[in-house]
Structure 1
């Protein structure tokens, strides 16, 4: 069995390969920060990040700030926004927009195949964010896409991190998305502290637990 995915500086236990989690919380309260920290892996791991609301150059800066080793041979950004900056250190693959779910899926498969040719077969995938996809498409379509991507991540023993802001969606929508993931991590800001708790993930904190959201 492959080694589990580990998280430096977070109150999270190791997670088995093939797991995808839904990170739920207002992005300004640390949900995005948590997801970026979860995508920071070891020297032998790759990262695929789908950015739906931030330019690739800004996303690359965020990756570096949160400890992701940004290099074009191990970090790919699927850019649904559009970025003409040629100096982004990651490999940037353009997607026509957040509504092009087929394009996102095809780009993911292309990048993973290329990673395999360079002996990178441990890949962390982040979707930032599902909320943007929902603003461009209906719940049924986005849920089907999420289900498909989760299945691909499971098949290749990867790690998936899907970010959603619950303030813009009803509880039914969040629960629908969560059912396709292995578990859910909720994030909140309370009395100046950023906290997380988990659902559906073994050996993880079930009570609100503080973490350092901003390095």
Structure 2
């Protein structure tokens, strides 16, 4: 049996391989930092991040500040915005835009194949964010894409971390996307800091818990 995925420095229990978690929260530093931290695994794991609304250079900087050491052997960014910065310390695969869901899927297959060929079998996949995809496409089309990507993550015993901003959508839209994911983490900002609450993660407390958003 494949070992569960761990999340160092976060109040989260381990997650079984094949799980995709939807992170539901406003687009502030706490939500992004949590998502980056969840994608930041040990050196023997790879990470693929689909960036729908920020350039690869900015994504790489934010990701590194979350404590992850990026390198081309285990980090890849599918850039739907466009970034010609050659200094990004990760594989950068351009996609024509957030509406090109077929292109995203093809690039994902390409980089996953590259990881497997180099001996990286455990892969964490991030999609930042579903909200941007919904601003370029209808719910039915985006839902189909999310469902497909969740299935691919499950098939290879990976883990997925998808983000969505509930302030940009009605409750039904968020609920629909949630149905395709195995688990959900809600994020909120309080006077004392950031808090998260989980659903669908075994042995995980369901009440609100604080988490650290300090970056390096």
TM-score range, shorter chain: over 0.9
Cα deviation 1:127-163 (Å, max 9, x = unaligned): 0011000000001100000000000000000010000
Supply the RMSD in Å over aligned alpha carbons.
Answer: 0.9
Question: Which residue does 2:69 correspond to in 1?
Answer: 69
* Aligned counterparts, 1:33-112, within 5 A: 33-112=33-112
Cα deviation 1:43-98 (Å, max 9, x = unaligned): 10000001011110111111111122211111000000000111111000000000
Alignment partners' CA distance in 1, 2:195 and 2:40: 19
Do the aligned partners of 2:72 and 2:90 also contact (CA within 8 Å) in 1? yes
Question: Which residue does 1:194 correspond to in 2?
Answer: 194
Alignment partners' CA distance in 1, 2:68 and 2:29: 21
What is the TM-score of this pair, normalised by structure 2?
A: 0.97
Deviation at 1:204, TM superposition (A): 1.5
Q: Which runs of 4+ in 1 moved over 3 A?
A: none
Aligned residue pairs, count: 215
Deviation at 1:29, TM superposition (A): 5.7
Do the aligned partners of 1:29 and 1:194 also contact (CA within 8 Å) in 2? no
Cα deviation 1:107-126 (Å, max 9, x = unaligned): 11111111001110100000
Question: Which residue does 1:122 correspond to in 2?
Answer: 122
Question: Which residue does 1:164 correspond to in 2?
Answer: 164
Do the aligned partners of 2:13 and 2:201 also contact (CA within 8 Å) in 1? no
Alignment partners' CA distance in 2, 1:98 and 1:77: 14
Alignment partners' CA distance in 2, 1:163 and 1:30: 12
What is the TM-score of this pair, normalised by structure 1?
A: 0.98
Alignment partners' CA distance in 2, 1:186 and 1:29: 14
Do the aligned partners of 2:51 and 2:79 also contact (CA within 8 Å) in 1? yes
Deviation at 1:20, TM superposition (A): 0.1
Gaps of 5+ in 1: none
Question: Which residue does 2:31 correspond to in 1?
Answer: 31
